[in-house]
Structure 1
Amino acid sequence: MAELKKEITLIGGIGQMSTTLLGTGLFMVPAIAASIAGEQMLWAWWILLLAICPIAITFALLGKRYPNAGGASYFVRHAFGPRLEKAIALLFISVIPVGVPAAIAIAGGFAQQFLPDFLATPIMAQLLVVLLLMIVNFSGSKSSSRLQTFIALGILALVGSFFWMGDMNVQDTLPHSPPTERFLSIGQAIAVMFWCFVGIEAFAHMGEEFKNPERDYPIAIVIGCILAGAIYYLFSTVVLKHHAYGTQELNTTSVPYLADLLFGPKARWIISVTGFLACFATINLYTQSLARMLWSLAREYRPTSPAARVTVNGVPSVATLIVGVILAVSCVFGELSGIDIEVFLTLANGIFVVIYLFAMWSAVRLLTGWRKHLAIVSLCLCLLVLVSIGIAMLYAVTMLLLFWWLLPKPAPLRSTSLRTK
C-alpha cells in the first residue's frame, strides 16, 4: 500500500505550525481587535492564549495517539464510526471552494505589488499563487517544511523590527486597567481573534509524515501555538502604541501604515513580500492537508484508484492536482462574481469551528484520566465559540447534515447462531 514519506522534523513542524497560524491574521486581526476593545485587547490576548492551550494540547494528544493523514476525521472515526468520519472529511474538503480561495485572493493582492504589469491583475496573480502552490507541494513535505520555517523566521524578524523601531518598552506590553472595565468588548474581540488559531485542525493531517510523530508532533503543535501567540501579542502592542487602527481602511492596512511610519515608504516592498509569504505559508499547509485528506479517503475506501497513489517523493499527486484545479476554478469564479472576500472567510470559519468541536468531542470519548478532563474543557470552549459565531454557522451545519444524509448507513451486523448436533 502507498505510504507518505516520514520527512518532517521537529523544527520543520514548528515552522509549519506557527506560519499556518500567523498567515493573513497578522495583517488584519490585531487592528480589528484594537478597534473593538482598545487597550483591553491585551487582556483578550491573555485570555485567548490560556483558552487555546487546552485545545492545542488535546489536538496534540490525539495526534500522538492517532497519527494519520486523515487528521480530525480519523479521530472522529475512532470515536463515532466511519459514517461520521466521511461526513467530517467531506466537510473539511468543502472548505476548498470558499476558504482557501479567499486567502489566495489576499496573497494575490500582495503579489500584485511586485509582479510586472502584464501579470499584476487579480486573476493572473491568484492563478500564479495556485501554480506556485502546486510546485511547492510536488517538491515533497520536507522541502515544504523548510520553506515554511524560513518564512516563520522572516515574520519573526519583521515583527521584531517593528517592536525595536517602535521604541517599545515594558509598560507598553502590559494592560493598564483591569479587564472588568470593558468585559463585553473583550469577549467580542476574542471572538474575532480566535481565527488567529484556526489552522491546528489542518496541521493534524501532517502527523503521519513526522519522522518521530509520538515525540515531535505534539511538541510542534504546542510550541507553534505559543510562538504564534507571542508574535501576535507583540505586534498588537505596536499597533496600540502607534494607533494603527480605528477605521475599516486602517484596520486592513495597519502593517503598511506602520512600515511607512517607522521605516519610510521605501520599506513597502519588504512588507509586500513578507505579506505574500505569510499568506502563502497558510495556504500551502491547507493545500497539503486537503490533498492528504482526499488521499486518505482514497487509500481507505478505493485503494486501487489513482487518487490513492503517491510519487517517489511521497506526494499524493492525483489528490494534489484535484485540489489545485478546484482552487484555480474557485479563484476565477470568486473574482468574476465579485463576492466579498469576507463572505468566503465567514463561511470557512464556520466549517473550522465545527471540525474543532467534533475533534474535541472525539477526544472526550477516546482519552482517559486527566486527558479526558482536558478534552471536556476544550469541548466547552469550542461550544462557546460556536455560539459566538451565530448565523454564520448555517453553512457549515447545513453542509454537515447534507453529507450525513447522502452517505449510506452502515450495514447492520448479522447475528449467527450455532447449531449443535
Structure 2
Amino acid sequence: MGKTTVEAPGFAKTLGLPQIVALYVGSVIGSGVLLIPGLAAEKAGPASILAWLVMSILVVPMAITMGLLSARYPSAGGVSTFVRNAYGDRFGNMTGWFFLLSVPMGAPILSVTGANYLGVLLHWGDTQVYAAAALMLIAVLSMNVLGMHVAARVQTIVVSLIISILILAVVAALPHASANNFVPFAPNGWLSVIQAAGLLFWCFIGWEAVTHLSEEFVDPAKNAIRGVLWSAGIVALLYFSVAMLTVATHSYGIGISAASLSVMIQLSLGPVGGWIVAVTALFICIAAANAYIGAASRIAYSLAQEKVAPRWFGALHPKYRTPIGGLLFLALCFAVVLGVLYVRWIDLSRLIELPNASFIATYIGGCLAGTRLLKDSRAGRIASWTSLLFTVGLYPFLGWSALYPVAIALLSLLWERRKKTEETV
C-alpha cells in the first residue's frame, strides 16, 4: 500500500450535484457526437444501433467504478491516487503522467475541431482557424485561473445548451424518419457491428477526467456516484437518440457521414441547421476542453506534491488558490502543439491516436485499482472487473500508438531513479 496523496487546503468544496453532472457530461460528450453516429452507420448500416446499445450498457460499469472510487478517495490526484492507494507510489505516479501527458494534445485537438466548424461557414483560412483555436484555449485557461466554481458555472450553462441543441436536432429529424431506412438491417454482415462497437468507444472516454476534481465535490460520498449515474443516463440517451435518427433519416453515406448531424438537422431547418451544428460543435469542444484542462492542472499539482514533477507544477494562485503551475505547463504545451499542427508536421487524425492510447492506459490503471480497493462492494467488484476486461481487451487494437504510454512509463521510472540518486548523494 502506498502513502495517501498529501493535499493542500487550498481547494474549496464548490461543486454540487448539478455542476458534477455538467462536468461529467461535458467531458464525455466530445466531438464524437458530431462524427461517430454517421461513420458507425456507414460501417455497419442500421445494425450499428445494436453497437450503440451494447456500448451504452458496457460504459456504465466504467462510470460506476470511477464514481465509487471518487466517493471513497476524493483527491486532486484522481485516478493516480486510486492506483497509488492500491499498488503504491510508483504505479500511481505513472498513471498520473499518463493522464497529464494526454491533455496537452487532446485540448488543442478539441479547440481546432471547434474552430474548423466555424471556419467552414465563415470561409476562414488556416491562420484564422488556429487563432480562434488559441483564443478558445486562452478563455478556458482563464476560467480555470479564476477558480473551478467559475468554470463549473460556465460548464453548466454550456452543457445545458448542448443538450438542448441535440434534442432539437433529434426532434427536427423525426418527421423525416422512415422504417424503410432500417432495411436491410445488417448490409455489411454482423462482424461490422463489432467493428463499429470498437469505433464507438471513443465517444465514451471522459469518466476519468472529473475524478481529479473530486476533492472539490460537496459531499463526495453521496454526490460522486449520483453524478456518474445521472451523467451515464443522459449521455447514453443522447448518443442513442442521435444515432437512431441518423439511421432513421439515412443521414449518412460516402462523403456525408462525418457531417451526419449537420445533414440530419438541415432536413427540417435548412442552412440555419448548419449554423446550429457549428455553434453546437463550438460548445461541445469548449465543454470538453474545460473539463480536461481543470483535471490536468490538478494532476500536475498532485504530482508536484508527490515530488515526482517539477516543483513549479505545484504553484497555487495567491488569491484564487487555483493550480496556476499546472495551467502554465498546459499553456506552454498548447502553444507548441498548435504550432506543430499549424505548420502541418502532423495532422489531427494521427495526433489524436496518442492521447487516446494514454487515456486507455489511465482507464486500465483505474480499473485495476478498483478491483483491489472496491473488494468490499459487490457492485464495485463487478463494475471494476467488467471495465478492466473491456479496456485490456481493447488495448492491443490501438496499433503503434500503444507505445506512447509505454514511453511515458519509462520516462516516469527514469525520473524516479534520478530523484533517488539525488537524495542519496
TM-score (norm 1): 0.89
Q: Does 1:255 align with 2:261?
A: yes
- Consecutive unaligned residues of structure 1, counting only runs of 5 or more, are 412-421
Residue identity in the other structure for 1:183: W
Give yes or no for contact 2:18–2:156 (8 Å, CA) kept in 1: yes
Aligned twin of 1:416: none
Cα distance in 2 between the residues matched to 1:180 and 1:34: 10
Give yes or no for contact 2:26–2:291 (8 Å, CA) kept in 1: no
Aligned twin of 2:408: 399
Residue identity in the other structure for 2:390: L
Local SS of the residue matching 2:252: coil
Residue identity in the other structure for 2:416: L
**Change over 3 Å in CA distance of 1:328–1:361 after alignment to 2:** same
Cα distance in 2 between the residues matched to 1:69 and 1:115: 40
Give yes or no for contact 1:2–1:309 (8 Å, CA) kept in 2: no
Local SS of the residue matching 1:408: helix
Select between 97-106 and 296-305 the one with higher mean Cα deviation.
296-305
Local SS of the residue matching 1:146: helix
TM-superposition CA deviations, 1:329-362 (whole Å, max 9, x none): 2111221134221111111111111110111011
Cα distance in 2 between the residues matched to 1:183 and 1:398: 36
Cα distance in 1 between the residues matched to 2:245 and 2:270: 16
Match among 271, 277, 297 for residue 271 of structure 1: 277
Cα distance in 1 between the residues matched to 2:76 and 2:364: 19
Give yes or no for contact 1:84–1:404 (8 Å, CA) kept in 2: no
Cα distance in 1 between the residues matched to 2:199 and 2:190: 15
Taking the TM superposition and a 5 Å limit, the aligned residue runs for 1:71-220 are: 71-112=78-119, 121-167=128-174, 182-220=189-227
Give yes or no for contact 2:47–2:193 (8 Å, CA) kept in 1: yes
Cα distance in 2 between the residues matched to 1:109 and 1:333: 16
Q: Does 1:26 align with 2:38?
A: no
Structure 1 residue 227: Cα displacement: 0.6
Aligned twin of 2:290: 284
Structure 1 residue 168: Cα displacement: 5.5
Structure 1 residue 115: Cα displacement: 7.3
Residue identity in the other structure for 2:61: P
Give yes or no for contact 1:83–1:409 (8 Å, CA) kept in 2: no
TM-superposition CA deviations, 1:258-294 (whole Å, max 9, x none): 2332201133322222210111100111111110111
Select between 382-391 and 192-201 the one with higher mean Cα deviation.
382-391
Structure 1 residue 24: Cα displacement: 0.7
**Change over 3 Å in CA distance of 1:361–1:76 after alignment to 2:** same
Cα distance in 1 between the residues matched to 2:271 and 2:333: 38
Structure 1 residue 103: Cα displacement: 1.6
Structure 1 residue 402: Cα displacement: 3.5
Aligned twin of 1:298: 304
Cα distance in 2 between the residues matched to 1:175 and 1:380: 32
Aligned twin of 1:417: none
Match among 227, 233, 239 for residue 226 of structure 1: 233
Cα distance in 2 between the residues matched to 1:352 and 1:146: 26
What is the aligned-residue identity percentage? 25
- Consecutive unaligned residues of structure 2, counting only runs of 5 or more, are 1-7, 421-425
